[in-house]
Chains A and B, each alone.
Chain A
């Protein structure tokens, strides 16, 4: 049984004009799965659909054996799924620590304290800046706050929407190794990435979406080597 599965999803931001035209994907416990594809392929849209942010016209979304089609983000986050949006992923006027604490909004207090310690160990630069406003941080550190917030409830699944967008190659590298670390701690990861090659290399499996439909899928390393995929958007 998959941790998350999208079955024949037709969905859009409104009740008509679908952006996804029948997307299928699944993710098993312990996996890192990457969704890649050209601009406008519906990658982020597919991820948002899984998190209850879209209007689902057709198809089903399941988490474990539960049908969560049409469920709100508030209820999905309580099922142990966290979502890190690409932009506006921190509360800028709140301190780093307050951002993290809100990640544990619905967890018991003792859980929050342990969570903070865990996050500061994972992202040491945040410990020194915990009382600073997160809006004053650099791009890479903001991404750490965003991921830290999402990791606070110790989720079983984390959804990452272009976690390396706008970051320097050095920081991007760091984020990818963090994703591996997070995964090693038992959190499954579904991510959408523009840095497709690097993302696929660290992923167990990958999906290539084009025009809101599945085009390819397979183990990450195979997709990187696939000639058609390479020609299409990996830059040859």
Chain B
């Protein structure tokens, strides 16, 4: 029983939590890839920006991190729209590699701006011992973990409803399928691109806030997450939001469970190799199933 408790509290729950965070980031990456046909390497730093927007809001108004989410989402979306307008849009007609490389530049710019404004030291949303809730009298789950997982589920369900039932969602999927035909159908690509930035940016902001809430806020936090997020997006098949949700969860769980002492008393892998697990999964996918687990489309 003790063993099971340790497994759930120290491995499974953290796995699901980081999986939710990866999923939220990976959805943005994959949507942007579908609509704009390039890999947005600044997505991790967009997350960082979201975390710092929330930090500012929490510092100013003393909000609970969950209440700071809408503020972070709005500010991050605005940031993404500005970046798109001034940097990516003028390059839109160039080969997508140009956009990809320029997103590296944006990543550096966001990170450097944050370091200038907030310094390089770590920040925290909440200090002190965290409240936790007991389940069935045995499982002890920190409240923030419950919040994170629940919010992630709500957002993913909301995204599902948007993609399936709204005109905007269908148009987004249409542009992802065939931008040329979407144009002939009268769908304004420009509007869809903006909407994608707002959705991708908002989800990245949430992921950033959750990441900061679960640990600390630091200028490199998002950049460090780019690898597992890309792994999640590739695992699910680029351009497939549902794949990214599953991919995120799989990568998060794989990372945490890889350090569980499956055989004997020692960790299977030292926790230091967590990132390596995501990397290994990504490389294996690229070799054997480059279209993702569910057979996405690679351009």
Contacts and interface: CB of A to CB of B under 8 A. Distances in A.
A168 to B, nearest CB: 24
Given A74-B186, A78-B186, A88 B170 contact: no
A89 B181 contact: yes
Contacts of B174: 91, 94, 98, 102
A105 B174 CA distance: 11
Contacts of B160: none
Interface in A122-172: 149
A103 interface: yes
Interface string B168-186: 0011011011101111111
Contacts of B173: 91, 93-94, 98
A173 to B, nearest CB: 26
A231 B69 CA distance: 72
Nearest to B190: A74
B93 interface: no
A89 B174 CA distance: 11
A85 interface: yes
B177 A74 contact: no
A132 to B, nearest CB: 15
A51 B183 CA distance: 11
Q: Is the interface of B mostly helix, strand, loop or mixed?
A: helix
Given A88-B178, A88-B181, A91-B178, A74 B188 contact: yes
A77 B184 contact: yes
Contacts of A83: 184
A218 interface: no
Contacts of A90: 181
A92 B177 contact: yes
B74 interface: no
A77 B186 CA distance: 6
B187 interface: yes
Interface in B159-207: 167, 170-171, 173-174, 176-178, 180-188
A73 interface: yes
Nearest to B173: A94
Residue in A88, A102, A103 with the greatest tally of chain B CB atoms within 10 Å: A102
Given A94-B170, A94-B174, A105-B167, A73 B187 contact: no
Contacts of B186: 73-74, 77-78, 105-106
Interface of B: 167, 170-171, 173-174, 176-178, 180-188
Given A94-B170, A98-B174, 20 more contacts: A51-B184, A73-B184, A74-B183, A77-B184, A77-B185, A88-B181, A89-B181, A91-B173, A91-B178, A91-B182, A92-B177, A94-B173, A98-B170, A98-B173, A101-B167, A102-B171, A103-B185, A105-B185, A105-B187, A106-B186
20 contacts: A51-B184, A53-B184, A74-B186, A83-B184, A85-B180, A85-B181, A85-B184, A89-B181, A91-B174, A91-B182, A92-B178, A93-B173, A94-B170, A94-B173, A94-B177, A101-B170, A102-B185, A105-B167, A105-B187, A149-B185
